[in-house]
Structure 1
Amino acid sequence: MRLISERDRQAGIRWQPYAGAAAVVAAAAVIGSAAMDSRSSWYRRLPKPRWQPPPWAFGATWTPLYASLAWSVGRAWSQADDGERSKLATALAVNLSLNAAWSWMFFAARSPRAGLAGTALLDASNLHLIRRASHSDPWAATALLPYAAWCWFATALNAKIVHLNRRY
């Protein structure tokens, strides 16, 4: 399967923006996952809502979401002018920093409250990233909606964990 066809290359669509976006998204995923420890005794002892997905669902969900995030940003970057590219790069950098930081706030710091603050900031950053992408390519912005929706779900889940674990 080829994501960028020969016709796309002839039309001037280059693979470099997609590769660059994939590299920075992958780096953020690796940095964030370094702090994840859903098997820790601390995390297992936390009361969690019944509607929390099983642990395997998170990896199964994040993988295609990260792929769509990389594709969206690569596409928006390809369509953007120089001034918009700078704004898009900044929005992405902030977004991925917040994305990776959540694991460190929640798991490494063992603070559901800090995680909730981080995911709320990530939600705001998602809206900004979607807005930035929409300036260059509406399809790229639309493709970011599942990522934003999953983050909103994660915020609701994190908020419920905070509520169930007021002692932290």
Structure 2
Amino acid sequence: MTRFLSLVLFVVLVVGGGSLIGINNVPGEWYQALAKPPFNPPNWIFGPVWTILYVLIAVAGWRVWNAERTGGAMSVWWLQLGLNFLWSPVFFTLNQIGLAFLVIVVLLVSIFAFIRINWHRDRKSAVLFLPYAAWVAFAALLNGSIWLLN
């Protein structure tokens, strides 16, 4: 498989998977009725931010996959992707704010683990995850705040 084709497949997997998760787990009336902290961003911001982050996640995963298809870095990449895709159904479909908070905290730990593992192996992959870590940390704060307020 060519490097370009494998990159396209990673982007399709991550952006496509994230989009499907988002389309099938939309915030509804339940979410609208929740008390939210004053720093809660408008709903329209989440789609564009996640699209950009999913591209960064895909490129980082592709870089690691090209260097080492098995091993710790790739395992952690798959773990964070699974946790990422799990959060929306837990929060928006199951309406389990506390469980979603647990998922997002473990997700954040896995993101930091990916950064740490790759910091010396492939600094570019690690750096690609920094905006993702920042956004998920903010999202965890938001999730935790909503949990406390409700």
- TM exceeding 0.5: yes
Aligned residues of 1:77 and 1:136 also touching (Cα < 8 A): no
The secondary structure found in structure 1 opposite 2:38 is coil
C-alpha displacement of 1:136: 3.1
The total of aligned residue pairs comes to 149
C-alpha displacement of 1:24: 2.8
2:47 to 40, 59, 66: 59
1:62–1:128 distance in 2 versus 1, CA, 3 Å: same
Distance in 2 (alpha carbons) for counterparts of 1:135 and 1:93: 20
| Alignment correspondent of 2:139 | 154
Aligned residues of 1:28 and 1:96 also touching (Cα < 8 A): no
Under a length normalisation based on structure 2, what TM-score does the superposition of the two structures give? 0.88
C-alpha displacement of 1:20: 3.3
Aligned residues of 2:64 and 2:74 also touching (Cα < 8 A): no
Distance in 1 (alpha carbons) for counterparts of 2:10 and 2:147: 33
Residue 49 in structure 1 maps to residue 37 in structure 2: yes
| Alignment correspondent of 1:129 | 114
Aligned residues of 1:102 and 1:115 also touching (Cα < 8 A): yes
Distance in 2 (alpha carbons) for counterparts of 1:61 and 1:45: 24
Q: What one-letter code is carried by the residue in structure 2 that aligns with 1:147?
A: Y
| Alignment correspondent of 2:7 | 18
Stretch moving more, 64-73 or 26-35: 26-35
C-alpha displacement of 1:41: 1.5
The secondary structure found in structure 2 opposite 1:15 is helix
Distance in 2 (alpha carbons) for counterparts of 1:147 and 1:112: 21
Aligned residues of 2:60 and 2:125 also touching (Cα < 8 A): yes
Runs of 4+ in 1 over 6 A off after TM superposition: none
Distance in 1 (alpha carbons) for counterparts of 2:5 and 2:73: 16
Structure 1: gaps of 5 or more residues: 1-12
CA RMSD after TM alignment: 1.9
Under a length normalisation based on structure 1, what TM-score does the superposition of the two structures give? 0.80
Distance in 1 (alpha carbons) for counterparts of 2:123 and 2:82: 24
The secondary structure found in structure 2 opposite 1:154 is helix
| Alignment correspondent of 1:113 | 98
Distance in 2 (alpha carbons) for counterparts of 1:81 and 1:41: 45
Aligned residues of 2:104 and 2:140 also touching (Cα < 8 A): yes
Aligned residues of 1:32 and 1:102 also touching (Cα < 8 A): no
Distance in 1 (alpha carbons) for counterparts of 2:5 and 2:77: 16
| Alignment correspondent of 1:86 | 71
Structure 2: gaps of 5 or more residues: none
C-alpha displacement of 1:21: 2.2
Q: What one-letter code is carried by the residue in structure 2 that aligns with 1:43?
A: Y
C-alpha displacement of 1:143: 1.4
